[in-house]
Structure 1
Amino acid sequence: MSLLIEYLKDEQLPSHLTEAKKLVRDVAKYIIVGEQLYRRGFSFPLLRCLEGEESQYVVKEVHEGVCGTHIGGRTLASKIASAGYYWSTLKNDCMEYVKKCDRCQRFVEVTTTLFEKLHSVISPWPFYKWGVDILGPFPPAPGQVKYLIVAIDNSLQKNSILATAKISG
């Protein structure tokens, strides 16, 4: 972040060529407003850039604070972004914090769905799950083929396509 701030204030590029190219590419996403670095967001207008302990405080406050609901890592990261904060390792920090949270690990919801035997789906009459469509006329193809007959068997999940020259009744 310090390289970004230096470049935005003084427009000084680093001496290493690859770092300079990366910095010029990334600097378009950032702006300085009143000595504070902000990132232009896609969904949010400006996200305040945080570093170090300040970012850890925000993660802890959103996760465990007054309105903290001990949510998962990805949701925690999106809540922090919607609150107007950003740092480069936001998602990874949130995922790691949730993994280390004692309450989240101890009181995780256990799935209580009951298992059931599988039931066969029986067709009320033969060929009930078939679908046949006739497409065309198309411009004549080799062999004077103008129509397509498409048959779909939903029970076996098979498709058949037949090209034909004429449709006869």
Structure 2
Amino acid sequence: MNFPLPTNNEAEYEALLHGMRMAKACGATRLEIYGDSNLVVQQSMNLCDAVNNNMIAYRQLYQNMEAKFEGCELKHIGRVSNEEADALENIGSMCSPIPDGVFYEVIAQLSIKEKALAPPKLLADDSEARLQQTAEGSPSQLTEHVLLLEPLWTKPFLAYLIDQRLPEDPVEARRIVRRSKAFTIVNGELYKHSISGIFQRCIAIDDGKALLREIHEGTCGHHAGCRALVAEAFRVGFYWPTAASDARDLVWKCDPCQRFAPKPHAPTTDLMTIPLAWPFAQWGLDQVGPLPRSSPGGHTYLLVAVNKFTKWIEAVPIKNQKAETAVQFFKGITCRFGMPHSIVTDNGSNFDSKKFWKFCDDGGIRLKFASVAHSQTNGQVERINGLI
């Protein structure tokens, strides 16, 4: 490369572009390129932004070259794995003799055009002469710069409150008159009377969006919700009519909010259905007590089971809350009605014991527990308990 003071990144880009030109001249259609410059690889594959003007131009030139191939991919490798390219680089930097089979070519200028400096400031006479000379030139050399400006939403209110001018549309005029009662003029600027009595300065919609973005994800932003964002913007004394919709769009399009926001309506675990397919396939089981001690017998508790399909009730008084008692009670049910498919019960210690679990596992019975905060899951047994 025979041009003054090339940077390392510029040299990497020049080598990349020169190699792609040679591959295109040889008829290649697909390229897989390996390089040890992580910056060039990341910028070329659009994995990071280019800030420098020359880097932006080089990346654009690479994209133009890439479009000429059916496929092109850059991969980053370590300097140790790039021995052949490093050997050729050392030959050029040390001016060593060129070995056989290596082609030598001198690049005299950059592949990109450097950004021109800003033109010097012209005097008034020179400017007029330049404009006259441009006007006499061909029409194709004339350039028009058009800037589209969106009218501010405050303009109709200012025109009405200051000059008593209304729009020609009667519907719009009535709207301006009706809504202008909530606004006032302070030092030539429009302010709105808030409910709390604070004067809110009316700002442009773009400025309002920037304000919401700063509150939401700025230096002190905490990714608040839509209503909190609008309330904070109004509380500090700003107003614009589309604040609510702007805040909603901002939160909906915020990637961290969508990834890490809590989901209050989602269950912590998968919901278990209670299918009623056939008789005596599913039972609800519960225990009532302690009750007044009976005599004779001394029974203080009551085990209740109800079939979910037929509403058949089984109840037996017991003296204790041991797991063996619950197992013996349900063994009697299985001897008369067969092995059920599942049992729905609460989180009682006698039902959530190892012995009761072993009994269910041996019989192929699924044991399901009702939520403590939602006892309606086992509502049939609860109603039977009240009935008994």
**Fold-level match, TM-score > 0.5?**
yes
Distance in 2 (alpha carbons) for counterparts of 1:45 and 1:108: 32
Matched ranges for 1:53-72 at <5 A: 53-72=206-225
Which aligned pairs between 1:106-121 and structure 2 lie closer than 5 A?
Answer: 106-111=259-264, 114=268, 116-117=370-371, 118-119=374-375, 120=379
Q: Deviations over 1:4-41 (max 9, x none)?
A: 01111111122222222111111111111112211111
Does the CA contact (< 8 Å) of 1:38 and 1:46 recur in 2?
yes
Deviation of 1:114 after TM superposition, in Å, equals 4.2
Q: Which has the higher helix share?
A: 2
The TM-score normalised by the length of structure 1 is 0.65
CA contact (8 A) 1:61 1:68 kept: yes
Residue number in structure 1 paired with 2:178:
25
Structure 1 stretches of 5 or more lacking a match? 127-169
Q: Of the two structures, which has the highest relative contact order with CA contacts closer than 8 Å and spacing of 6 or more? A: 1
Letter of the structure 1 residue corresponding to residue 211 of structure 2: V
Identify, as 1 or 2, the structure richer in strand.
1
Shift of 1:52: 3.1
* Residues 191 and 202, structure 2, Cα contact 8 Å, conserved in 1: yes
CA RMSD of aligned residues (A): 2.3
Of all paired residues, the percent bearing the same amino acid is 31
Number of aligned positions between the proteins? 126
Structure 1 residues 114 and 36, CA gap change in structure 2 (3 angstroms): same
CA distance in 2, matches of 1:114, 1:82: 37
The answer to whether the Cα contact below 8 Å between 1:38 and 1:49 also exists between their aligned partners in 2 is yes
What is the CA–CA distance in structure 2 between the aligned matches of 1:90 and 1:30, rounded to whole Å? 17
For structure 2, the residue ranges without an aligned partner over 5 or more in a row are 1-153, 270-369
* Amino acid across the alignment from 1:79: E
Which of the residues 233, 237, 252 maps onto 1:80?
Answer: 233
TM-score, normalising length: structure 2:
0.30
